[in-house]
Amino acid sequence: MKALVTGCAGFIGSHLSESLIENDIEVIGIDCFTEYYDRKLKERNISSILSSKKFTFVEADIMDASLGQYLKDVKYIFHQAGQPGVRGSWGKEFDIYVKNNILVTQRILEIVKDFEIKKFIYASSSSVYGNIDELPVKESQLTKPFSPYGVTKLAAEQLCNLYFENHGIPTVALRYFTVYGPRQRPEMSMSKFIKDMISGNCITIYGDGKQIRDFTYIDDIVKANLLAMESPVEGEVFNVGSSRPIKLIEIIKILEKLVGKKANIEFMHKQDGDVRETYADINKIESLYGYKASIDIEKGLYNQLDYFKSTNENLKSH
Ligand SMILES: NC(=O)c1ccc[n+]([C@@H]2O[C@H](COP(=O)([O-])OP(=O)(O)OC[C@H]3O[C@@H](n4cnc5c(N)ncnc54)[C@H](O)[C@@H]3O)[C@@H](O)[C@H]2O)c1
């Protein structure tokens, strides 16, 4: 069995690739190491699987890679490549979001329509919803993105759906709610909180800290992808969250306990594009896939903190 994972060197793509290999699935991973964050971190993400006989790494930009040659015998495509982050998606940078989120997705779908695949799983985002009054949010909610990033993720999700409707590509879109855990991207809130806390720096919170996020542990995201792969359900979108929303300020309190230090917090103006609350209704994925969110936030944060400490030690000793 063979799968293609785009964005395989990223936070989510690397965990997913690892898990597929553990499940005895051959993985072709493609990544071009975009400049969004340090290439070294991405190289480290795939360092444990690079030597696996079941992993083939292709360093290429999806926009100009000859994808067809990698698709032979591929049954599953996990499209994780993308330009993440809400705050950076304004202004001039929007071009990069259009390219890496919309154009790239269209290009893959256009090529894939000539191949027989079993499932095309797209990494969508809770950002497609925008600010919602009625929470927890269901998949049937009208989508009204609140950031340029959200617009590009929604456009790509719609492309998946129209290639399903017109060409029968068996697509599924998983709307991830803020993902955390080991290897989380360095600009994401928990990564920054952990780094600042350990190094004794002031922690910056944009807004009053009372904004609510439905944090989803990386293992649950991987699990949702595997369930989507195995299930016959196609042409659908699913929320993937923990459905246990928590205030940002509570995250700091948990970290204070775990690190054994009081945090120094600086509150700054809320950033454009940041929504007030995210909170997933996960009934659909629970009932159609048998998904269950596993780890609680204390344990998940402990794992992320542990990973940060061990990799920082590694970096120091090199
Ligand atoms: N992390 C989250 O909380 C979250 C939440 C919702 C949705 N998502 C989506 O999940 C996916 C993975 O997110 P992540 O947090 O792992 O981000 P990431 O930046 O760590 O990983 C994305 C990877 O895609 C690669 N990539 C981007 N454009 C490419 C291109 N044109 N060709 C080849 N490779 C390319 C990047 O180099 C990177 O390694 C993204 O599509 C993101 O929008 C993430």
pLDDT tens for residues 3-51?
Answer: 999 999 999 999 999 999 999 999 999 999 999 999 999 999 999 999 9
Provide the β-strand partners of residue 237.
173
Q: Please give the mean pLDDT across all residues of the chain.
A: 96
Q: What is the residue range of 84's domain?
A: 2-180+215-243+279-294
How large is the C-alpha radius of gyration of the chain?
19
Between CA 158 and CA 156 the distance in angstroms is 5
Quick check: is 25 in a domain? yes
Domain containing residue 104: CATH number? 3.40.50.720
Quick check: is 204 in a domain? no
Q: Which residues line ligand 1 (CB under 6 A)?
A: 7, 9-13, 30-34, 36, 42, 61-63, 80-82, 84, 100, 104, 123, 125, 153, 176, 178-179, 185
Q: How many CA atoms lie within 13 A of 152 on its CB side?
A: 25
User: How far apart, in Å, are the Cα atoms of 104 and each of 46, 98, 100, 108, 298?
Assistant: 22, 9, 5, 6, 36
Please determine, for residue 314, whether its predicted confidence score (pLDDT) is greater than 70.
no
Span from the CA of 260 to the centroid of ligand 1 (angstroms): 32
Predicted local distance difference test score (pLDDT) of residue 317: 41
Strand 212-213 to strand 246-247: parallel, antiparallel, or no bridges (unpaired)? antiparallel
| CB neighbours of residue 22 within 10 Å | 11
Predicted local distance difference test score (pLDDT) of residue 213: 95
Q: Which region holds residue 73: left if phi is over 0, alpha if psi is between -120 and 50, else beta?
A: left
Q: What average pLDDT score do residues 263-269 get?
A: 95
Of 227, 245, 229, 244, nearest to 284 by C-alpha is 227
Span from the CA of 264 to the centroid of ligand 1 (angstroms): 31
Quick check: is 238 in a domain? yes
Span from the CA of 107 to the centroid of ligand 1 (angstroms): 16
Q: What average pLDDT score do residues 136-157 get?
A: 98
Instruction: Work out the pLDDT band at 312, boundaries 50, 70, 90.
Output: confident
Quick check: is 17 in a domain? yes
Quick check: is 108 in a domain? yes
Please determine, for residue 218, whether its predicted confidence score (pLDDT) is greater than 80.
yes
Predicted local distance difference test score (pLDDT) of residue 313: 64
Ligand 1: which atom is nearest the Cα of residue 63?
31
Predicted local distance difference test score (pLDDT) of residue 318: 39
- Assign 60 to helix, strand or coil: coil
Measured by CA distance, the residue closest to atom 1 of ligand 1 is 179
Please determine, for residue 315, whether its predicted confidence score (pLDDT) is greater than 70.
no
Please determine, for residue 251, whether its predicted confidence score (pLDDT) is greater than 70.
yes
Question: What's the token pair of residue 47?
Answer: 């360092």
Measured by CA distance, the residue closest to atom 23 of ligand 1 is 7
Quick check: is 210 in a domain? no
pLDDT tens for residues 164-185?
Answer: 999 999 999 999 999 999 999 9
Percent of the chain with pLDDT over 90: 95
Is 217 annotated in the active site?
Answer: no
Domain count, the chain: 1
- At 307, which amino acid appears? Y
Between CA 86 and CA 317 the distance in angstroms is 34
* Choice among 36, 149, 217, 289 that is catalytic: 149
What DSSP assignment string belongs to 273-293?
Answer: T--SB--B--HHHHHHH----
Please determine, for residue 236, whether its predicted confidence score (pLDDT) is greater than 80.
yes
Span from the CA of 100 to the centroid of ligand 1 (angstroms): 9
Measured by CA distance, the residue closest to atom 11 of ligand 1 is 80
Quick check: is 268 in a domain? no
pTM of the entire structure?
A: 0.97
Measured by CA distance, the residue closest to atom 43 of ligand 1 is 84
Measured by CA distance, the residue closest to atom 38 of ligand 1 is 10
Quick check: is 299 in a domain? no
Question: What's the token pair of residue 209?
Answer: 């800290």
Between CA 95 and CA 87 the distance in angstroms is 14
pLDDT tens for residues 94-115?
Answer: 999 999 999 999 999 999 999 9
Q: What average pLDDT score do residues 203-215 get?
A: 95
Span from the CA of 83 to the centroid of ligand 1 (angstroms): 6
